[in-house]
Amino acid sequence: MTEALYMREPYRKSASGRVLALTDEGGIVLDQTIFYARGGGQPGDSGTLDWSGGRIAIATAVKSDDGAIVLIPAEAGALPPVGAAVDQRLDWDRRYGHMRIHTALHLLSVVIPLPVTGGAVGATKGRLDFDMPEAPNEKAILEGQLNALVTRDLPVSETWIDEAELDANPGLVKTLSVQPPRGAGRVRLVRIGSEDAPVDLQPCGGTHVARTGEIGKLKIGKIEKKGRQNRRVTIEFA
């Protein structure tokens, strides 16, 4: 199994690694990686791998059926051999954009406290789909509430609970379309705000900024009807 360095060191831009395996499709599995594996609406990271005698661009990272993190090259080319030592470097601006937008979407779920039916994270904008039969009347008010949470510069932290605790508190899960991964015995919660009085607390496996002030000013874009009861709300950097 690959050690997911991005879980405990989301600000790390480079790292060493060693090739454990190459997949039949040309993917690369390392013993440890800073590349976030696509999931929960957040894209996989891109960047480069360097090794003695070679370099390859990485387009994304995904999780295999057996839980390994597989780095997907941007194009066909020479791959590092199994056992080779490699240097990993992220496309940091893209990753940091994902971290800011993903945290901002958590805040959006606070100012619109309705069940979430879907979502997607981008480097400059993102969206959540809500179980919202009627569109909100005052978009400017929602935008003001969202930016007020950003400017409070709230801390963003994580905690872990076991699956039984999550079952006892089903209200922690805001997303109807994606359930927290199970089977490992525990679930990661992302907290925004203080431990005693969090603004938001929900299961999430994505990467986030350390404080909401890092997000920067946001604006709410389109609010689109998607089905009988769904509304898609888009946010982007102002």
186 shares its domain with 116: yes
Domain CATH code at residue 46: 2.40.30.130
Tokens 């490992």 belong to 184
Confidence of residue 176 (pLDDT cuts 50, 70, 90): low
Q: What is the pLDDT confidence band of residue 183, given thresholds at 50, 70 and 90?
A: low
Tokens of 218: 């946001």
Assess whether 85 and 132 both reside in one domain: no
Tell me if the pTM is above 0.75. Answer: yes
Give the residue with greater pLDDT, 125 vs 176: 125
Q: Does 130 share its domain with 221?
A: yes
Contact 102, 206 (CB under 8 A): yes
3-state SS, residue 206: coil
Structural domain range at position 33? 3-90
More confident residue, 212 or 169: 212
> Do 85 and 117 have their domain in common?
no
Whether residues 53 and 113 fall in one domain: no
- Joined together, the tokens standing for residue 71 give 């780095």
Question: What Å distances lie between residue 102 and 56, 67, 125, 200, CA to CA?
Answer: 28, 23, 9, 13
Do both 123 and 213 map to the same domain? yes
The structure tokens listed for 8 are 């405990």
Q: What is the pLDDT of residue 182?
A: 53
pLDDT of residue 161: 82
Q: Please provide the size of the chain in residues.
A: 238
- Written as six digits, the tokens of 29 are 């599995």
- Interhelix angle 139-151/92-111, nearest 10 degrees: 120
Task: Please state the domain count of the chain.
Answer: 2
| Cα 207 versus chain centre, distance | 5
Boundary of a domain, candidates 90, 124, 144: 90
- pLDDT tens-digit map of 45-93: 999 999 998 999 999 999 998 889 999 999 988 999 999 999 999 999 9
Contact assessment for residue 94 and residue 61, using Cβ atoms and an 8 Å cutoff: no
Same domain? 115 vs 175: yes
pLDDT of residue 200: 95
Last residue of a domain, one of 27, 57, 90: 90
Q: Do 71 and 102 reside in the same domain of the chain?
A: no
Residue 226's domain is classified under what CATH number? 3.30.980.10
**Residues 167, 147: one domain?**
yes
Cα dihedral across residues 126, 132, 134, 139: positive or negative:
negative
Average pLDDT for 168-191: 71
Residue-level pLDDT at 102 = 98
Burial class (CB in 10 A: 0-12, 13-18, 19+), 19: buried
Task: Give the pLDDT band of residue 178 (cuts 50, 70, 90).
Answer: low
Residues 131 and 199 in one domain: yes
pLDDT digit string, tens, across residues 6-28: 999 999 999 999 999 999 999 99
**CA–CA dist 183, 187 (Å, integer):** 9
Residues 232, 129 within the same domain:
yes
Last residue of a domain, one of 58, 90, 122: 90
Residue-level pLDDT at 173: 73
pLDDT of 112 reads: 95
pLDDT, tens digit (0-9, with 9 covering 90-100), for 116-168: 999 999 999 999 999 998 888 789 999 999 999 999 999 999 988 887 777 77
12 and 55 belong to one structural domain: yes
